[in-house]
Amino acid sequence: MTKPTFTEIIETGMFTIAGVVAELQESLPKIVAKGRSTLEPKLGMAKFVGQFAVTRFENEFQKRTDSTLDQLTDLVSALFGFSKGQDEHDSSSADHSASDGAASVESAVSGTRTAPKGKASDADDLPISGYRTLSAQQIIARIDSLNQSELDAIVKYESMHRNRASILRSVDAKREKH
């Protein structure tokens, strides 16, 4: 056996590279199609799972945001006597808010609850005892036990006072069940 010459080595290398390139040109579309058919079902499932996870996260985030917002609203209302339905620009309303807020802060510090003037009868007429002192979560927990007219009273009170979306959504959900 004789040793290949330098020219033979160069020619073999060049023809090998040319052969590989020619083979890739023919085979590459087949290889890509085979890879696609193998991976697409798996990627489709991964995409579906990813979309499900994002949707679930968004829903959970919205629930927690609503809950936190309701708790903050409850806290501000308890401390300062504000409600969403009040007109803070009305001078007589502002005077009542200030006195109600002072009474609320004082009652929070002393541990006793006193109802602001002019609002006690509205809250006292509600089917849930101590409604004004309860958080949105506590009220929502009791909604399933109410009848239609009691739900109407809750909606009317919330619409006129604090207008808490989570409570109103829960009442709507209860109504849809029946």
Closest C-alpha among 56, 112, 108 to residue 77: 108
* 67, 139 Cβ separation under 8 angstroms: no
pLDDT at position 81:
66
| CA-to-CA dists, residue 129 to 82, 86, 126, angstroms | 21, 23, 7
Residue 56 in tokens: 């679930």
Q: What is the pLDDT along the chain (178 residues), one digit of tens a residue?
A: 788 899 999 999 999 999 999 998 889 899 889 988 888 887 888 888 888 899 899 888 888 888 888 888 878 877 776 554 443 334 344 444 444 444 444 444 434 434 344 444 466 789 998 888 888 899 999 998 999 999 999 999 989 888 999 999 999 999 988 7
Half-sphere exposure of 130 (CA within 13 A, CB side): 8
pLDDT tens digit string along 154-163? Answer: 999 989 888 9
pLDDT at position 121:
47
C-beta atoms surrounding 71 within 10 Å: 14
pLDDT tens digit string along 86-113? Answer: 433 343 444 444 444 444 444 444 344 3
Closest C-alpha among 87, 158, 101, 103 to residue 127: 158
Q: Any idea where the domains of the chain sit in the sequence? A: 45-177
pLDDT at position 167:
92
Length of the chain: 178
